[in-house]
Amino acid sequence: MRDAPRTRRTDELSVDGARLPPDVTRLLEQGELRIEGRLIDASNATLYCQVRLGGENAHAVYKPIAGERPLWDFPDGTLAARELAAYLVSEALGWSIVPPTVSRAGPLGDGMLQLWIDVDETVDVTRLVRGRDPQLRRMALFDAVVNNADRKGGHLLPTSAGHIFGIDHGVCFHREDKLRTVLWQWRGRSLSAEDTDALTRLREHLDAALGERLSDVLSGHEVAATGARVERLLTTRRFPLPSGEWPSIPWPPF
């Protein structure tokens, strides 16, 4: 088996910013998977695949549950489900931060499958992380909602169309405050009207279908904690500050 490309992400569907083919989820859920390589830098088993359904095909990332390394602070075998939960929250916010993601069986058992995004390699990610791109502002707020314990610079995927995706959300949704991120530029700053509108919509979704879907992949305590974080953000109307009880920046940061 050959190693997958280590930096350039490609797919054979047109990904123009956040606008994606309407049938991409069906392709990911029902398409035939063929493993073409592995991502050797990933801490868990992460496989580069081609997925085909009829005349459509794309590349995707497949993370089987069987390849997850145990963590001391997260239940075993739950990382793939947390990746799906992050996608569901991203879609409910309407910001398309997380690439299309599904839960499904693959050649190595049940796991997560996510559309493979083509990265614009001309973008200096180090400079991007230090800037104040409005898309990263949204991502910082998203991370506060999902309690992302590992937002590294390498988890940002800037595309040639200008959209920035975020990946690797397996260590999100913990009940305890574990927010670790390289995106602290907006710490303590007031939320905008757009921010509060999005959070209000998300709260409504959590009280309805989204809450039910999250309950299928997260524990009841984790779903409740997600709702509590949304309420806290709407009450304070500010981005969170580092807690002081948990390292605020992941290591390594990229």
User: The domain containing residue 218 runs over which residues?
Assistant: 125-236
Cβ contacts of 190 within 8 Å, gap of 6 or more: 237, 238
Q: What are phi and psi of 200, to 5 degrees?
A: -65, -40
- Looking at residue 14, what is its pLDDT? 38
Taking the C-alpha atoms of residue 143 and residue 239, their distance in angstroms, rounded to an integer, is 10
The answer to whether 48 and 39 have CB atoms below 8 angstroms apart is: yes
The answer to whether residue 16 is domain-embedded is no
Q: What is the mean pLDDT of residues 57-62?
A: 94
How far apart, in whole angstroms, are the C-alpha atoms of residue 254 and residue 250? 8
| pLDDT, position 40 | 84
* Residue 141 lies inside a defined structural domain of this protein: yes
Residue 19: pLDDT over 80: no
DSSP conformation class of 7: S
Give the pLDDT band (50/70/90) at residue 42: confident
**Is pLDDT of 100 > 70?**
yes
Report yes or no on 249 lying in a domain.
Answer: no
Quickly state the pLDDT bin for 21 (edges 50, 70, 90).
low
Q: Does residue 107 form part of some domain?
A: no
Residue 114 lies in a domain: no
The predicted model scores a pTM of 0.90
Q: Does the pLDDT of residue 92 top 80, yes or no?
A: yes
Question: What is the arithmetic mean of pLDDT over 60-82?
Answer: 96
For residue range 178-197, list pLDDT tens digits in order. 999 999 999 999 999 999 99
DSSP character string of 30-87: HSEEEEEEE-TT-SS--EEEEEEETTEEEEEEEEEGGGPPP-SSS-TT-HHHHHHHHH
The answer to whether residue 209 is domain-embedded is yes
Express as a percent the part of the chain with pLDDT over 90: 83
pLDDT digit string, tens, across residues 202-227: 999 999 999 999 999 999 999 999 99
Is residue 194 situated within a structural domain? Answer: yes
Number of domains in the chain: 1
Query: Which residues have a Cβ under 8 Å from the Cβ of 29 and sit 6 or more positions away?
Result: 102, 104, 113
Residue 197, in any domain of the structure:
yes
Tens digit of each residue's pLDDT (9 = 90 or more) over 102-127: 999 999 999 999 999 999 999 999 99
pLDDT of residue 22: 61
What's the rounded mean pLDDT across residues 225-236? 98
pLDDT confidence band for 41 (50 / 70 / 90)? confident
Q: Is the pLDDT of residue 5 over 90?
A: no
